[in-house]
Chain A
Amino acid sequence: MVDSIRPPAKAPRTGDVPRGPEPARPRQRNWRRRRLNRYTGAPLVLISVNLLLFGTFFVWPAITGLMYSFTSYTGVGPAPFVGLDNYQRLLQDEAFYSALIRTLIFTAGVVPLTIVLSLATAVLLVTPYTKGKAVARVVFFLPWLISPIIAGVIWRWLFGENFGFVNYIIISLGGSELPWQSNANLSLIVVIIAGAWANTAFNMLLFVAALKNVPTVYYEAASLDGAGSWAKFRRITLPAIAPTTFIVVLLTILNSMKEYALFKTLNDGGPGTANNLLVQYIYTKGFERAQIGYASAASFVLMLILMIVAIVQLVMNRRKES
């Protein structure tokens, strides 16, 4: 991406620079044209499959999806045009708002927890101070191998109301058992913990790669100046890994907004529909009620939200850099 964006930005500047007769240019242009003409078949063959898949599974559904969102299509038969009716109904649906708010609360809870934990585990795996990294690395990475469905089962088992280990410990310590399943907020907290546990591994990998690339000379220089560990971490490490942090935060937010599988086995969006998130809302409308048109409209609202998140992050990142 970088090298595809930069040349056009720089091109006019080189044009402004006054130059004498330029014998190099036409030759280069000729040479380029020859190259272009010569290699058309090979790149076309190489990208052909992806091109075909891109057309079939992205462009086509994106266009039809946008069209469906203005119809009351049910998956079979005709698709009567209803204009903005789907969007109007969506904006008046309380279930949609509650799903949206629940999604935002979940994201607000799980993202900071995931970032802190993955950065902490990554630092501990890179720093020379810790012993037993080989074992720790495998344990920290284990949740990546476990699917969200199974992770949901694992945490449901741990937080079971009448049989869970956590409630057992609470009772043993003299407390009374907490309704981890039947209280909507407690239930969401369990999903947030489970989500952070499950998402740490991959983000940790990204952070480890970034931490290893911080030049050690910076730390050596800081040590000579008498900087403490915390100062080094704040002044050297954090700025150095900022690009990775940006990616990790963005990816984690986008993924949390799309979470469904973890909820499916942990509480199935319950109790009742209290913890239904956006994707579950879309799935229920689209496939259990067969309202393809309505679900498409909801999908496009979700996409809009995801894009706003991405753009806001990009703008904030730009501002911080400049």
Chain B
Amino acid sequence: MAATTTTPRFSALRRKRPNAPGELSKKFWASAVMWLLVVVYGFPVLWFLLSSVKPAGELFSYPLTFFPEDVTFKGYTEAWTSFDVGTYFVNTMIVAVSATLLTIAVSAACGYALAKYNNWWVKAFTICILATTMLPGEVLLSPLFVVVRDLGLYNNLAAVVVPAVITATGTFMFRQFFLTVPSDLLEAARIDGSGELSTFIRIMLPLSRPIMLTLAIFSFQWRWNDFLWPLVVLNDPNKFTIQIGVSSIVGAQNVNWSVLLGASVLSMIPLVAIYLLLQRYVMNADINAGLKD
């Protein structure tokens, strides 16, 4: 939203003096630097994608070719069949989708309570949520593992999902949003005799749709790309998530690059697809909201 209000003002400002000295060369140099950076950032991925459709022989034969001479998807099919990428996909999808839905529900409820109720223990809990950022999963790795094992969740996909549901970033995104919702709305609902929880579900929750979608893509990305925690709690190859699966291909003594490239590219597809769907909720997100506090 900020974009739509500031950009016109910017261009109006520029239009006033179209022939200001140096304006054109500034435009040229700024664009040149930006496009240079685009090449720097895009090239590794482009090279990777092009390599993934080359036949195994062409991958290592000097001189290297930029564009593949014959296009093959053998790496992909081999990854899908011989390395169980399909199973990893299903597992990761289960983890990412359920964690995302739970995270949104729980964060919305908690964020709303933190924003709209003044009880001392609600305020104290705000500090507690903030404190969780000081104790990331990496720090609690071993004791957290023991807790999860004692709860009987070891080697279960739920072990990846449940501890991930509580997130300070998500909770604070919702808290900041509900702080901007006028309390008059809440008072009006109270006067009309609406119960507290039904006010939350029927009035407040629909208002927070943009936050929900932003958190949805964030949470999906966190879980889809998560590596260390699934590695610790999942032991059975049939329960592996995609990141562990791909890293196990690398772990082998002789890296089968053809399969590795195929599996890697496959693993990126769902996230890229979701990003393209929800792009504007990420790029326009005022993500400062959750972090600046």
Contacts and interface: CB of A to CB of B under 8 A. Distances in A.
Contacts of B147: 56-57, 60-61, 64
Contact of B62 (A46, A56, A168, A200): A168
B141 A286 contact: yes
A212 B10 CA distance: 11
A75 B287 contact: no
Contacts of A145: 221, 268, 271-272, 275
B291 A251 contact: yes
A292 B146 CA distance: 9
A158 B44 contact: yes
A178 to B, nearest CB: 16
A107 to B, nearest CB: 14
B292 interface: yes
Interface stretch (A22-30, A127-135, A314-322): A127-135
Interface string B111-134: 011100111001101111111101
B254 to A, nearest CB: 13
A212 B247 contact: no
Interface string A295-308: 11001101100110
Contacts of B264: 150, 153-154
Interface of B: 2-3, 6-7, 9-11, 13-14, 26-27, 30-31, 33-35, 37-38, 41-42, 44-45, 47-48, 51, 59-60, 62-64, 106-107, 109-110, 112-114, 117-119, 122-123, 125-132, 134-136, 138-147, 151, 162-163, 165-166, 171, 195-197, 200, 221, 224-225, 227-228, 232, 243, 246-247, 250-251, 257, 260-261, 264, 267-268, 271-272, 275, 282-283, 285-288, 291-293
11 contacts: A42-B195, A47-B110, A47-B113, A47-B114, A49-B106, A50-B166, A53-B166, A150-B243, A163-B59, A286-B141, A303-B135
Contacts of B250: 152-153, 156, 264-265, 268
A50 B110 contact: yes
B275 A129 contact: no
Given A244-B288, A287-B232, A61 B47 contact: no
Contacts of B107: 50
A2 interface: yes
